[in-house]
Chain A
Amino acid sequence: MSDVTVEVMEKKLVTNQRPTDAIVGESPLHHADLASIASQGPQEGGVHFCEHKLLGLLTLRCVPLPQQQEEIESLLGVALPMAPLTSVTKDDTSIGKVSVRWVGPDEWLIIVPGDEAFDLETRFFETLSGHFSLVNISGGSTVFDVSGDQVVSMLKKSIPVDLHIREFPVGKVVSTIFAKSGAIVCRLGENQFELVVRRSFADYLWLWVQDASREYGLVVKTS
């Protein structure tokens, strides 16, 4: 038997990833200068690309009991999507636009405005009862928005998932392979998709999207 005693922490240490306004956050595609491409590049094309910079991303893991589900709903303003491959998005909660993506049977990705992530994380640890894990992954991922008439053709080159609207309706979310990387792909509209990608793969995927969109024409937009 070991002599080590483990002290149970009553409060979890939550760190604000953006402690002051003096620290300027840079998105993983900062170097690509998307704003210049948006103003000087092509204005018409089959695929539209936009990076939603510096959003708040939280990974929630738990097997929620009914009481926890209620508590989570009151924290987020939306209920957890419990059915596999489903998602919810609500524009007008008390903390602004909130999206929740099903990732696994005990895992969800929560997307909130960047300046709300720390407060929401703090409130989760104050309010939510029972066994759960919440990790702020805002610094590790970024969000792309791809849309346009030819966006499905572009994605067909990139992911091994059936994108027909019957198989992949609006609101469906999948974690899958994207080129040689991975992405969480959510359909926001018939011709609009959200990609949550790793920070370290953002540049690679941006280059991939440019190449895959070449034959349709790529329009860069600012969010």
Chain B
Amino acid sequence: MFYIYCPHCCEHREEEEFHAAGQAHIPRPLDPDACTDKEWGEYMYFRKNPRGIHHELWVHSAGCRKFFNITRDTQTYEIKEVYKIGEKPSVVANAVEVQNSHTQNSSKTPLENTLESQSGATL
């Protein structure tokens, strides 16, 4: 069971009041008509499954019904931090993992790279 701090209610609540809504920081292609099927498919269907630090979107569904982000360690289940939509995480995966993810993501299109730099967060 998680005991989750809601940044809108400003207190900890039981996990059953919340729903996980998947990976955080997924920017929608700015012009869906102009992107390739591959870009759209990656936006729609492809998600990270990291071992370690993961940024997730959660919603306080039975409480204030607001969405917010959680940075969680998928190995230990430890919640590292909670931050509002639009804010940037202060806890991110370590440099080695970032480098790895860069090599993995080398197939990224210029659009994805632009979106990534616009959103200011790691995809």
Contact = CB atoms under 8 A, between A and B. Distances in A.
B64 interface: yes
A84 B9 contact: yes
B62 A85 contact: no
Closest 10 CB pairs of A and B: A104-B64, A160-B14, A84-B10, A175-B63, A177-B62, A105-B8, A182-B62, A84-B9, A177-B16, A176-B62
B63 A174 contact: yes
Contacts of B62: 175-177, 182
B13 A85 contact: no
Contacts of A85: 9-11
B13 A105 contact: no
A103 B64 CA distance: 6
Interface of B: 8-11, 13-14, 16-17, 62-66
A203 B116 CA distance: 50
Contacts of A103: 64
A176 B12 CA distance: 12
B95 to A, nearest CB: 36
B10 A160 contact: no
A120 interface: no
Nearest to B15: A160
Given A84-B8, A85-B10, A104-B8, A177 B64 contact: no
A71 interface: no
Interface of A: 84-85, 103-105, 107, 160-161, 174-177, 182
30 contacts: A84-B10, A84-B64, A85-B9, A85-B10, A85-B11, A104-B63, A104-B64, A104-B65, A104-B66, A105-B8, A105-B66, A107-B64, A107-B65, A160-B13, A160-B16, A160-B17, A161-B13, A161-B14, A174-B9, A174-B63, A175-B62, A175-B64, A175-B65, A176-B13, A176-B17, A176-B62, A176-B63, A177-B16, A177-B62, A182-B62
Nearest to B61: A182
Contacts of A104: 8, 63-66
Contacts of A105: 8, 64, 66
Contacts of A177: 14, 16-17, 62
A160 B11 CA distance: 13
A175 B17 CA distance: 9
A146 to B, nearest CB: 19
Contacts of A174: 9, 63
A105 B17 CA distance: 17
A25 B17 CA distance: 33
Contacts of B65: 104, 107, 175
Given A84-B8, A160-B13, 9 more contacts: A85-B10, A85-B11, A103-B64, A160-B16, A161-B13, A161-B14, A175-B63, A175-B65, A177-B14
A105 B62 CA distance: 14
Contacts of B66: 104-105
A112 B84 CA distance: 33
A59 to B, nearest CB: 12
